[in-house]
Structure 1
């Protein structure tokens, strides 16, 4: 983790963020409210969602930790480490809701409002889905902004 500390203050576009076998690495931009509290500007993509060959929950979360590299105006300001397994009960429930809709031929009806932390974010391309003649938007699994905000709220501004 010490190697990550060296990137604070650097431009996000000049840093090489290689994947890790042990944890997700999320470079996330944030904005700040007038009171000084920060909030994430975007979701974090975990994986593409293939309706006909859906990834299992255990494979989706084979990495159970996340290093969040926060940046603002392209400058890295903070690093945080979070254990996703703390929330596996909610993440699994969300996964099950998404999987059940797809299994029932209702992928076209999925919305991110159906789940709490794990979302099936819509993409513009339409594709076929199992058990339905209807086309559905292609999707990707994401950690929702609401969940990222929860992480921010639980972790103080302390860096590792």
Structure 2
């Protein structure tokens, strides 16, 4: 862990593929997440965390999508790593599964065009700019993401080292 902690204060470009492979080999999902500051000084994540592209014809199973129980997070501000954190998602698995079931259910029922991020709590089907034709309807390609509001929950629980 000391080796990883030595990355604090350095550029995110210093997180090489070997570091990521090592963490993934012990079943961590690795996230490099950027945050910004609101005028009041509160930090907020600026992007959701992409997990996988959604294949409307062959939706990945929940266990394949959420194969991990811990996320190893490199938090950064303007490209500089400010903290590293291990976040355990175990207590959130029921909510993640419920979100997954809602999303996959709509896809399987031919209602992919009716997916709304507001329908779920932690996991979302983020709309991308590209479209495809599915069941004679034009639908946006989507990806499974951990929502920014969920990342905010994680960010709020982290004690940053300055």
Matches within 5 A, 1:1-160: 1-17=1-17, 18-19=20-21, 20-21=24-25, 22-129=27-134, 132-157=135-160
In 1, Cα distance between the equivalents of 2:99 and 2:157? 20
Deviations 1:132-159 (A, max 9, x none): 3212111111001000001122333369
4+ residue runs over 4 A deviation: none
Deviations 1:113-136 (A, max 9, x none): 11111010111111233xx32121
Structure 2 stretches lacking a partner, 5+ long: none
Structure 1 stretches lacking a partner, 5+ long: none
In 2, Cα distance between the equivalents of 1:7 and 1:154? 21
CA contact (8 A) 2:128 2:140 kept: yes
TM-score, scaled relative to structure 2: 0.89
In 2, Cα distance between the equivalents of 1:97 and 1:112? 11
TM-score, scaled relative to structure 1: 0.90
In 2, Cα distance between the equivalents of 1:154 and 1:30? 14
Cα RMSD over matched residues?
Answer: 1.7
Deviations 1:1-39 (A, max 9, x none): 333212111111233152413111111111123343211
- SS at 1:128 equivalent: strand
